[in-house]
Amino acid sequence: MKTSELMFPGLQCVQLASRDAEITGGYTSDLLSDVMAHLKEGDALITIQAHKNTIAVASLTGASAVILCHGRTASPDMLEVAAKENIAVFVSSGSQYETTCALVEALRR
């Protein structure tokens, strides 16, 4: 599934990415070191860490997208870096668990 096709209730895209990466899975974690150790290329990163370093980590690990949970607002500088790194950012109203379930569901469709 392409990031442009990602859609589920409570999900909003706040930053588009022209490269439109393929989402092949997901990784849910708020610990960025843990993300760096375990996220597989193509995974969407599901997290509550709404700041610039999240984008840096997503970019280094080859994440397809970043999904912020609990409706957290992405700061303007985070979106700026996301645009530069060409990474799509979404905001989900649900918890990490709910968002993860929704992504699994979306990937199955």
Partner 1 sequence: MNSTPRFAEDISLRIQELAGNLKIRDVMTRKVFAVTRTCTMRDVQAIMKSNAISGVPVVDDRHVIGLVSVNTIMNAYEQGWMQDPVAKHMTTGVRTLGEEQPLSFAMSAFSKFPYRRFPVVNQNNELTGMVTPRNINLALIQELSRQLDAIETESGRITPAATSENCIFSRIYRVARYDFETGGTAAAELREQLQARGVAPKIIRRAAVACYELEINIIAHSYGGTLTLYIDRELVRITANDFGPGIPDVDQAMTEGFSTASDWIRSQGFGAGMGLPNTKRLSDEFAIQSGVDMGTMVKSVINLNPQEKLSDENK
Instruction: Output 47 or 92, the one with its CB closest to partner 1.
Output: 47
CB-nearer residue toward partner 1: 7 or 31: 31
Q: By CB under 8 A, tell whether 5 contacts partner 1.
A: no
Mapped onto helix, strand or coil, the DSSP state of residue 81 is helix
**Residues touching partner 1: how many (CB under 8 A)?**
20
Find, among 7, 4, 43, the residue nearest to 26 by Cα: 43
Measured CA to CA, the distance from residue 79 to residue 102 in angstroms comes to: 23
Q: Is 101 in the site for partner 1 (CB under 8 A)?
A: no
Residue 15 touching partner 1 (CB under 8 A):
no
Question: What whole-number distance in Å separates Cα of residue 42 and Cα of residue 21?
Answer: 7
How far is the C-alpha of 95 from the C-alpha of 34, rounded, in Å? 19
Tokens 């150790």 belong to: 37
* Residues in 19-58 at the binding interface with partner 1, rule: CB under 8 A: 30-34, 36-37, 41, 47, 49, 51-54, 56-57
**Interface ranges with partner 1 (CB under 8 A):** 30-34, 36-37, 41, 47, 49, 51-54, 56-57, 59-62
